[in-house]
Structure 1
Amino acid sequence: MKLRLFPQESAGLKLLSQMARQILEATGTLSEILGAPVTEHGRLVEELHGHESKSTDLHFALLTHMRTSFINPLPREDMYALSRFLNEAMEKLDAAGELVALYKLDRLPKRAADQLEIISRQAELTVEAMGRLDDLDELEDYWIEILRLAKRAERSHRTWVAEMYRDMKAAQYARHRDIANQLVDVTKDMRRVATQVGSIIVKEA
C-alpha cells in the first residue's frame, strides 16, 4: 500500500526539488572554479552567488506558500526543516567558492573534487526525492544512500585534513582547511535533509 500525503497539492514539493537542483547546479559551478585560473574566479563566484540567491528566493517562496495554502503535502514543520537544511547547504557551498577566490587559490588537492562528486550525487538523489515526498514507499533507499555518502565524505575529509597537516605550511593549511570544512559541512546538511525524510517515513508508516 502506497503512503501518500495529500498528493493533490505538490507546489511545495516542487519548490523543495528546485532548491535541491540549485545545489546540483552550484556544485558544477564550484567544480569550474576549482579548475579555473585565478582570473576567472570573479565571474564564476558571481555565478555561484546567483545560485545561492535563487535558493534563498525559493526558501522564502516556500514559506509564503505554506502560510497561504490550506493544504500542504507534509506537516509545515517538516517542510520548513527540509527547506532550511537545503538553503544552509547552498550557503556553505557558496562560501567554499568564495573562499577559493578570496584566498586566490589556483589549485586544490584531488580531495576537493572527491567531495564535490559526493555532494553532486547527494544533490541528484535529493532533487528526485523531494518531488516524491507524497509517495514515501521507496524513499527509504534514498535516506540510506545519503547517509552512506555522508559517511564517505567525512572519512575523505579526515584523510584530507591529515594530508594537509603533513604536507602544508601553517598559513596554507589554514586556508585549505577552511574550504575543506565548508565542503564537508555541505554533506552534513544534505544528511540532515535525508534524516528529516527518514523521520517523515517513520511518522507516516
Structure 2
Amino acid sequence: MRAPDALDWDGYCARWSAAHGGYDPRRAPSLVRGWLRLGHTLGSALLRAGVGSPNTVTLFGLLISLGVPPVAALAPLGGLWAAILILLAAFADTIDGVLAVIADRATRLGQVYDSAADRLSEAAWVLAFALLGAPVWLAVAAGAVMWLHEYVRARATVAGLPDIGAVTVAERPTRILVAIFGLLATLFDDRAATLTMAIAVLVALVGLGQLLRAVVKALR
C-alpha cells in the first residue's frame, strides 16, 4: 500500500499544536523551531518511503542511546563516536513524533513510550559523562534536574495546565546540543565532562524556574 503523502509544514504545525495544548511551534524559539522543521523534513521522507511506525523509531532511538556509555568509554575517540550516536538518537526521537503527527498515528500509549524513552536516553548520556570523569554526584544532579523539569510539566498538565506552559531554555534540543558538544570537548580537555555536567545543571535549573513561573501563573 502506498504511504500517504506527508503534510506540509503549516499542516504539520497545526496538528502538532493540537497535540500540545495549542502551542504553535512556529512561535517557538529559533533553535526549537529549526529542530522541528528538520524533523518534519526527515519524517516526511520516511513516510513517503513507507516507514510509518512511530514506536519502532522510538525503540531504535532508545537502543542507540543505551550504546552511548560503553562507546564513550572507548579511547581515544570515544567522545566523538558517542556524540555521533546521540545525534542519531536525537533524529530518531524527533522523527517518531513527526511520524505520529503526519501519519495520524499518535496514541496516548505512544506518548508514554516516547517520554519513558527520552528519560532513559538522557540517563544513559549522563552516565557517559560520569564514565568520562565527571563527578558522580554532579552527573546525578544534572539528570535529576532534567527529569524534574519534565515531571513538573507532566504533573501540571494533569492538574489542568492548558498547554505546555512555556518553552524553556532547557528543552530537549538544548540538552542534546549540550551533550553532543560536551562529548566532543572531552577529546581535547579532561575537565570537559565535569564542565559539561555543570552547564547542564545550570541550564536545567534556569529552565525549571521558567517552567515553574509559567505553571504557577496558569494554575493559580
Q: What TM bracket, shorter-length normalisation?
A: 0.3 to 0.5
TM-score by length of 1: 0.40
The structure that is helix-richer by fraction is 1
TM-score by length of 2: 0.38
